[in-house]
Amino acid sequence: MHPHEIPTVEPREVVDEILLDVREDDEWAAGRAPHAVHIPLYDLPERLAEIPEGRPLSVVCRVGGRSAQATTWLRAQGVEARNVRGGMLAWAAAGLPIEGDSDRAWIV
């Protein structure tokens, strides 16, 4: 699947669906979308069964590259997934909610 063929969604269009964050642990701790499911990209094959079912799935990383890889792989496994265009940087730029693991300002 070529990058231009990967189904995408704008951050503001992610509504009432499962948001899978494939960033590394330190990125996740620094700032994430509330209610996102965290499975780092390279753990995805072993942890596929942990992805909740029953709602559309959108995949996010920092800028969209790793989530595009994950989306392509997930679709090859039969999972209807979409890539969040622009990743968490676009999420933050759109003013969407972000939470983190510390009291300091959250960064993505």
Annotated catalytic residue 61: yes
Instruction: Report percent pLDDT > 70 for the chain.
Output: 90
- Note the residue count of the chain: 108
**What residue ranges in the chain does DSSP mark as E strands?**
8-9, 18-21, 37-38, 57-60, 81-84
Fold designation for 3-93: Oxidized Rhodanese; domain 1 (3.40.250)
pLDDT tens, residue by residue, 30-52:
999 999 999 999 999 999 999 99
pLDDT tens, residue by residue, 6-33:
999 999 999 989 999 999 999 999 999 9
d(C-alpha 108, C-alpha 100), whole Å? 10
Domain ranges of the chain: 3-93
Of residues 22, 61, 74, 108, which has the active-site annotation?
61
d(C-alpha 34, C-alpha 24), whole Å? 16
